[in-house]
């Protein structure tokens, strides 16, 4: 006869009871958290079950209209899925400003890019890095791109602008100002990096490959297909990287005031410097990627000044007086608000993010919908272009250059380049022009924001 254990039954009842209570508590807690998150999440519905809205968000021809249509339907924020992840898109300046403040929390966000974007920028890119690695890179790079350092690049920028003015005057008939500006911003970048121009053949080789690389940034991640834009962009990156490595080797032997020398010379508090790979990846990120951003800002400026001749006349007059720089800065601020050169930015949320009217759960993507921010009600008459808006209202344009700890260090160089180009064109040594009729002035991202027909104009 088996020996009975009288204490076993009460122990089983005791353990079972407490396990049931704990399990029920956990289940109720999960359900409550899910319900809270569900209640706080903005409305929205993904277009496709698996891909969500990925194909529209990453499609250059649709990304702007997608944001505007969804905002009209769902409001300033909506829920969807992007790149196989649940996502919340925010387009309101107030919500974006709150989110950027949270970016200063070390574990709140991670940089997020599709895998082929990471490869195109490089694993050592400031955009791709997070945490301590990002902080170290930012300290080193900022020292070469702060306003005081950018001041030393003015003479290099002027050389490229002189070539731009002469090139425009040589044109007979209508020409694409968008193309001219893309060529000029590349010349500015080369001058700032090296302090000298390149032979035309070398410049064309660099321009062609950088264009292929830039198109790859807004392409489907099809690297495994040799003829896809993503695969072509990776090959083009390799060709440009070879050029950069040669420049770095030559410049290391004779340092000067150029940007490339500043990056080579930069050292951290512990004496560490940027590696060659870090320099290469961040020249792609902060300099070459800025070519389209600056050209886009200038293209939008020419378009606006072509359509509003009274505004153009006013800026020409003000540039002759002491307030010229202030007026030009206000004009560019409103251009960036109404024509954001970057369509969106993404972050991976690591800790639950509570904004004013939106909660974004951990594991979600937070998408800054920069293209639709023009419609934000925080501005008085947001659809109107108001030159003096920046003087009378708080205007946020950091969306064009990131925000918080991810504010782009290259923004000062981009702003300085745009200001010098417009000051030269609208000044006494500049030129007047007229738009070609019957052209498409609607804009698309490619990857910067440009008129579909290339902004055809003629000097007058």
Q: Is the pLDDT of residue 398 over 60?
A: no
CATH of the domain at 377: 1.10.630.10
- The average pLDDT across 388-400 equals 64
Which residue is associated with the tokens 């000097």?
A: 459
The verdict on residue 74 lying in a domain is: yes
Residue 402 binned pLDDT confidence (cut-offs 50, 70, 90): low
Q: Is the pLDDT of residue 11 over 80?
A: no
State the DSSP string of 153-203. Answer: THHHHHHHHHHHHHHHHH--S-EEHHHHHHHHHHHHHHHHHHSS---HHHH
SS3 assignment, position 227 = coil
The verdict on residue 34 lying in a domain is: no
The verdict on residue 10 lying in a domain is: no
- The average pLDDT across 353-367 equals 88
pLDDT in tens, 148-170: 888 889 999 999 999 999 999 99
The pLDDT assigned to 32 comes to: 41
- The average pLDDT across 269-275 equals 89
The verdict on residue 171 lying in a domain is: yes
Q: Is the pLDDT of residue 62 over 70?
A: yes
Q: Which domain holds residue 367?
A: 44-459
Residue 7 binned pLDDT confidence (cut-offs 50, 70, 90): very low
Residue 215 binned pLDDT confidence (cut-offs 50, 70, 90): confident
On the question of a cis peptide bond just before residue 28, with omega within 30 degrees of 0, the verdict is no
Q: Is the pLDDT of residue 229 over 60?
A: yes
pLDDT in tens, 365-381: 999 888 777 666 667 78
The verdict on residue 22 lying in a domain is: no
Which residue is associated with the tokens 């090959």?
A: 235
The pLDDT assigned to 26 comes to: 44
The pLDDT assigned to 246 comes to: 95
The verdict on residue 387 lying in a domain is: yes
pTM of the model: 0.85
The verdict on residue 110 lying in a domain is: yes
Residue 52 binned pLDDT confidence (cut-offs 50, 70, 90): confident
Q: In terms of DSSP H, where are the helices of 1-81?
A: 8-40, 54-57, 63-74
Q: Is the pLDDT of residue 29 over 80?
A: no
- % of the chain residues with pLDDT over 90: 43
User: Nearest CA to 343 among 417, 408, 295, 293?
Assistant: 293
Considering its fold, how many domains does the chain have in total? Answer: 1
Q: Is the pLDDT of residue 13 over 50?
A: no
The Cα 261–Cα 117 span in angstroms is 27
pLDDT in tens, 97-106: 888 888 777 7
Residue 111 binned pLDDT confidence (cut-offs 50, 70, 90): confident
The verdict on residue 189 lying in a domain is: yes
């Amino acid at each position: 006869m088996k020996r009975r254990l009288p204490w076993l039954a009460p122990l089983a009842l005791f353990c079972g009871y407490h396990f049931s209570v704990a399990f029920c508590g956990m289940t109720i807690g999960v359900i409550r958290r899910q319900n809270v998150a569900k209640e706080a999440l903005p409305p929205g519905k993904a277009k496709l079950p698996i891909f969500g809205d990925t194909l529209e968000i990453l499609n250059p021809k649709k990304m702007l209209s997608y944001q505007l249509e969804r905002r009209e339907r769902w409001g300033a924020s909506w829920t969807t899925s992007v790149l196989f992840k649940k996502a919340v898109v925010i387009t309101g300046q107030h919500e974006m400003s709150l989110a950027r403040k949270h970016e200063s929390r070390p574990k709140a966000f991670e940089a997020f890019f599709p895998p082929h974007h990471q490869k195109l920028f490089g694993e050592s890119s400031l955009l791709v890095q997070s945490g301590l690695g990002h902080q170290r890179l930012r300290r080193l790079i900022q020292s070469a791109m702060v306003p005081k350092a950018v001041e030393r690049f003015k003479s290099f920028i002027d050389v490229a602008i002189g070539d731009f003015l002469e090139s425009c005057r040589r044109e007979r008939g209508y020409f694409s100002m968008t193309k001219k500006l893309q060529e000029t911003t590349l010349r500015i970048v080369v001058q700032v990096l090296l302090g000298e121009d390149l032979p035309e053949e070398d410049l064309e080789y660099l321009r062609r490959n950088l264009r292929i690389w830039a198109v790859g940034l807004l392409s489907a991640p099809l690297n495994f297909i040799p003829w896809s834009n993503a695969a072509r962009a990776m090959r083009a990156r390799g060709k440009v990287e070879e050029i950069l490595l040669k420049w770095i080797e030559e410049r290391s032997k004779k340092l000067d005031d150029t940007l490339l020398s500043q990056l080579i010379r930069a050292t951290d508090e512990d004496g560490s410097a940027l590696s060659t790979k870090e320099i290469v990846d961040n020249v792609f990120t902060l300099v070459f990627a800025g070519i389209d951003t600056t050209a886009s800002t200038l293209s939008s400026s020419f378009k606006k000044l072509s359509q509003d001749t009274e505004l153009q006349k006013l800026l020409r007059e003000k540039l002759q007086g002491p307030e010229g720089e202030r007026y030009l800065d206000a004009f560019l601020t409103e251009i960036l608000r109404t024509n954001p050169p970057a369509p969106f930015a993404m972050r991976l949320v690591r800790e639950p993010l509570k904004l004013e009217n939106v909660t974004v759960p951990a594991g979600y993507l937070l998408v800054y919908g920069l293209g639709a921010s023009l419609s934000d009600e925080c501005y008085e008459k947001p659809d109107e272009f108001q030159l003096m808006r920046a003087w009378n209202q708080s205007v946020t344009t950091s969306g064009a250059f990131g925000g918080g700890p991810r504010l782009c260090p290259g923004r000062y160089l981009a702003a300085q380049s745009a200001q010098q180009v417009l000051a030269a064109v609208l000044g006494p040594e500049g030129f007047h022009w007229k738009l070609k009729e019957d052209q498409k002035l609607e804009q698309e991202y490619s990857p910067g924001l440009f008129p579909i027909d290339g902004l055809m104009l003629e000097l007058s």
